Structure 1
Amino acid sequence: MLEGLRVVELATYIAAPGAAGIMADWGADVIKVESPQGDPMRGFFDSIGSQQDANPIFELDNRGKRAVVLDIRSDAGREAMRALVATADVFLTNVRPGALTRAGLDHVMLRAANPRLIYCSVTGYGLEGPDADKAGMDVAAFWSRAGVGSITAPKGSEPFPIRTGMGDHVTSLATVSAILAAVFERQSTGVGRLVETSLMRTGVYAIGSDMAIQLRFGKLASTRGRREAIQPLANFFKTRDGRWICLLSRQGSPDWAQIATAAGRPDLIEDSRFVSSRSRRENTGQLVDLLDAAFGAMDYEEAAVALDAGDVTWAPYQTPRELVADPQAEAAGCFVDTPDGAGGTFRAPAAPARFPGAQDGPRGPAPKLGADTAAVFRQLGWSEDRIAVLTGPSG
């Protein structure tokens, strides 16, 4: 879908590289520019004291790209960077704005040389305000400061961190959509634009339903435990064989009868304690205890059949290990075979959309550091002497 679109990425870690990785899966020519030290995510497992033969975190976000090493602290590196961006449709970066300005790689300078350029900046906190140049990882900007963590944690519990890259990858999705909106606009205007996404703004949108209530009413209910849930039917119940199910009820009361029947307790349908959504809320603890006992007397497969017979919205509460063996995850295209660079493949998460009939998966392995520097600049028409300056010890 994106063949013919050239993306130059000057970024590290996950949010921005993840966006470029999605576009690489979809056919874009993505050139990843790194410092001589490389993207720190290349050393992820070393940083946590674990020795691994592969790095699936880095591979996920960087498969199918070409890798160039440039030292933008040097005159030669900055010149090469500007020459490369002059050939690009999209420049994607998460380098702090101040550092880019000092290097002459801010959006004003680069778009002056390439008016069609879509310049996308991914930051922790946006391009304006007192914290515009502040470092922001997803645990800090998305999870902590944007409020995602506080409303996720049950009331009274201590803060805990988000899983690796979760907020980053939400921001990757926002970034891809923003870039492609600008690509569409450019079809009619002929010129590019500055595009920005931030971990903070994406975090706010991710909890947008709650934030809409907070902004409109000035207050928000906290996340509560199972026996204190505001909507007791939107809950989790354990079956006799130790498996948890996630149960959901549509707005209003259309599912109460089906849920009570599936649980083997049709006698509760007209019980005055549970006959309406308000009465169920007032008697949450009692209802949860009764459904705990009902589902706890059933094996998982028995509960699954009964819930499906009532067309109830539910799902198994699975671990990643269980998800890997879920046939529906396979059918939905959640996993793809990724080239390993040595003639084989390995399984990895797919990009988040499918385009039936088109190649929408990995185009190649994650590149070695600087593997394509010489080839990329030969395509730009640079002489071997000029290329040697970039690839030499002081390049």
Structure 2
Amino acid sequence: MLEGIKVIEMATYIAAPGAAGILADWGAEVIKIEPLAGCPMRYTMANMGADHLKGSPIFDLDNRGKKGIAINTATPEGVEAVKRLVKDADVFITNVRPGGLERAGLDYKSLAAVNPRLVYASVTGYGLEGAERDRPGFDVAAFYARSGFGYLQTVKGSEPTTLRTGIGDHTTSMATVGGILAAIVERQTTGKGRLVEASLLRAGIYAAGSDTAVQLKYGKLGSTKSRHESVAPLSNFFKAKGDAWFVIVPRQGSIDWKAVLRVIGKPELETDERFANPKARRANAAQLVDILDAAFAAHDLDHWRAKLDAEDMIWAPLMRPSDVAKDPQAIAAGAFVEVPEHDGSGTYLAPASPIRFPGADDGPKGPAPALGEHTLEVLRAFGYSEAEIEGLKAAKAIA
């Protein structure tokens, strides 16, 4: 879908490279600029003490199908090389902090002067304005903790739990892709590019937007309760025989109350005053959850699968990632793709990009590049002579 779109990415870690990675899956030509030492995500497995494992699946996910070059942008020659690449580009994506970009002359204003059609996507922790715009911000900090999301995920009276790797980053990646494509559509009319500003903080606030909207409207918000204190005790996780957890999401009001009673074989509870309406069920949540726990513990998940599906209930098993990889429905939904190994030895399974385009080539276009793999190829393609390339080497702008 994006064939002919040229993207220059100058970014490390996950959120910004993830956005460029989605664009690469969808057919854009993406040139990834890394520092000479490489993106830290290349070394994730080694940094976690698992250096016996091959490669870095975390890095590969967000960087497959890109051309990789290594440039030292702390040198004037390196900055000039970036500007030469940008001159012919459609999109520039970066997560370098705003102050550093301004000092280097790689901020939006500077690059728009080089290429007025450029769509410039900035991905930061906290945005481009305000006293904290240059504060570093990983997703567990800016997206999760600072946005209120982490508080909402913490059961009252319990200790907070952290966010797994990349969840906030990839949410921000998807948002960034949307902003970039909107700016490309606008450019078709105006002929000009624009600044697209994404931040982990703003994405986190939006991701928690349903609760945040209540807070903003009414000035108050209920805390996250334990299973036995739930405001809606039917909307809960339950454990079947064999320690298999699953979640039930009943429709609002009492629509699914009778269906749940039919599922567990206790129709007599319909006339029990403790559970006569949603307010009563909330007041007696602990007793109701105990009854449901005892009922669901009596049979295995397959038994409840049949019962819940027969009532057209909204529910899902709590699955391990190892089971998700074998889930026929996830496979049918196109959630996984085969990615070529860098050494050409075969392929391996990885998550697909988040949107499917039936009938289109919307999957990986190749492996993630080795550090600096395409530096000379790209520079020559952009008009650098051999003498100029040697000058970049002498200036330590490239390795």
TM-score of Structure 1 vs Structure 2, range by shorter chain: over 0.9
What is the SS of the residue equivalent to 1:353? coil
Taking the aligned partners of 2:265 and 2:300, their CA distance within structure 1 comes to: 12
Worse-superposed segment, 124-133 or 264-273:
264-273
Taking the aligned partners of 1:327 and 1:297, their CA distance within structure 2 comes to: 27
1:195 is aligned to 196
1:122 is aligned to 123
Answering whether residue 36 of structure 2 is matched by residue 10 of structure 1, we say no
Answering whether residue 260 of structure 2 is matched by residue 286 of structure 1, we say no
What is the SS of the residue equivalent to 1:119? strand
Correspondences of 1:34-53 after superposition (within 5 Å): 34-51=34-51, 52-53=53-54
State the TM-score, normalizing by the size of structure 2.
Answer: 0.97
What is the SS of the residue equivalent to 1:305? helix
Taking the aligned partners of 1:4 and 1:383, their CA distance within structure 2 comes to: 25
How many percent identity over aligned positions? 55
Instruction: Give how far 1:50 is off.
Output: 2.0
Correspondences of 1:177-192 after superposition (within 5 Å): 177-192=178-193
Instruction: Give how far 1:45 is off.
Output: 1.8
Answering whether residue 69 of structure 2 is matched by residue 68 of structure 1, we say yes
Correspondences of 1:128-207 after superposition (within 5 Å): 128-207=129-208
Taking the aligned partners of 1:162 and 1:50, their CA distance within structure 2 comes to: 21
Correspondences of 1:308-323 after superposition (within 5 Å): 308-323=309-324
Taking the aligned partners of 1:217 and 1:180, their CA distance within structure 2 comes to: 35
State the TM-score, normalizing by the size of structure 1.
Answer: 0.98
Name the aligned partner's letter for residue 71 of structure 1: N
Taking the aligned partners of 2:324 and 2:270, their CA distance within structure 1 comes to: 34
Over 3 Å counting, the alpha-carbon distance change for 1:392 and 1:374 in structure 2 is: farther
What is the SS of the residue equivalent to 1:357? coil
| Contact persistence 2:142–2:200 (CA under 8 A) | yes
Worse-superposed segment, 378-387 or 136-145:
378-387
Taking the aligned partners of 2:392 and 2:234, their CA distance within structure 1 comes to: 62
Name the aligned partner's letter for residue 115 of structure 1: P
| Contact persistence 1:373–1:391 (CA under 8 A) | no
Instruction: Give how far 1:270 is off.
Output: 2.8
| Contact persistence 1:70–1:390 (CA under 8 A) | no
Deviations 1:172-224 (A, max 9, x none): 01100011110111111110001100000000000000000111111111111
Instruction: Give how far 1:390 is off.
Output: 3.2
Over 3 Å counting, the alpha-carbon distance change for 1:335 and 1:392 in structure 2 is: farther
2:219 is aligned to 218
Deviations 1:123-162 (A, max 9, x none): 0000000001111111111111111111101111112211
Taking the aligned partners of 1:294 and 1:160, their CA distance within structure 2 comes to: 30
| Contact persistence 2:77–2:395 (CA under 8 A) | no
Name the aligned partner's letter for residue 384 of structure 1: E
Worse-superposed segment, 275-284 or 83-92:
275-284
What is the SS of the residue equivalent to 2:279? helix
2:33 is aligned to 33
Deviations 1:37-95 (A, max 9, x none): 11111111222222121210000000000001111111211111100011110000000
Instruction: Give how far 1:393 is off.
Output: 7.9
Worse-superposed segment, 372-381 or 82-91:
372-381
Number of residue pairs the alignment of both structures matches: 395
Taking the aligned partners of 2:311 and 2:156, their CA distance within structure 1 comes to: 33
Instruction: Give how far 1:241 is off.
Output: 2.1
Name the aligned partner's letter for residue 138 of structure 2: M
2:348 is aligned to 346
Name the aligned partner's letter for residue 47 of structure 2: S
1:251 is aligned to 252
**CA RMSD after TM alignment:** 1.1
Instruction: Give how far 1:355 is off.
Output: 0.3
Instruction: Give how far 1:264 is off.
Output: 1.7
Taking the aligned partners of 2:296 and 2:385, their CA distance within structure 1 comes to: 72
Structure 1 unaligned runs (5+)?
Answer: none
Instruction: Give how far 1:392 is off.
Output: 5.9
Deviations 1:289-319 (A, max 9, x none): 1111111112211110000000000000111
Taking the aligned partners of 1:261 and 1:392, their CA distance within structure 2 comes to: 78
Taking the aligned partners of 1:389 and 1:161, their CA distance within structure 2 comes to: 47
What is the SS of the residue equivalent to 2:273? coil
Name the aligned partner's letter for residue 317 of structure 1: L
| Contact persistence 2:45–2:55 (CA under 8 A) | no
Taking the aligned partners of 1:342 and 1:393, their CA distance within structure 2 comes to: 31
Structure 2 unaligned runs (5+)?
Answer: none
Taking the aligned partners of 1:180 and 1:318, their CA distance within structure 2 comes to: 34
| Contact persistence 2:42–2:55 (CA under 8 A) | no
Deviations 1:7-35 (A, max 9, x none): 10000000000000011000010000011
1:275 is aligned to 276
Deviations 1:328-361 (A, max 9, x none): 1111111110111233100001100100000111
Instruction: Give how far 1:269 is off.
Output: 2.2
1:380 is aligned to 382
Taking the aligned partners of 2:122 and 2:59, their CA distance within structure 1 comes to: 20
Taking the aligned partners of 2:190 and 2:383, their CA distance within structure 1 comes to: 29
| Contact persistence 1:233–1:247 (CA under 8 A) | yes
1:325 is aligned to 326
Worse-superposed segment, 315-324 or 186-195:
315-324
Name the aligned partner's letter for residue 246 of structure 2: I
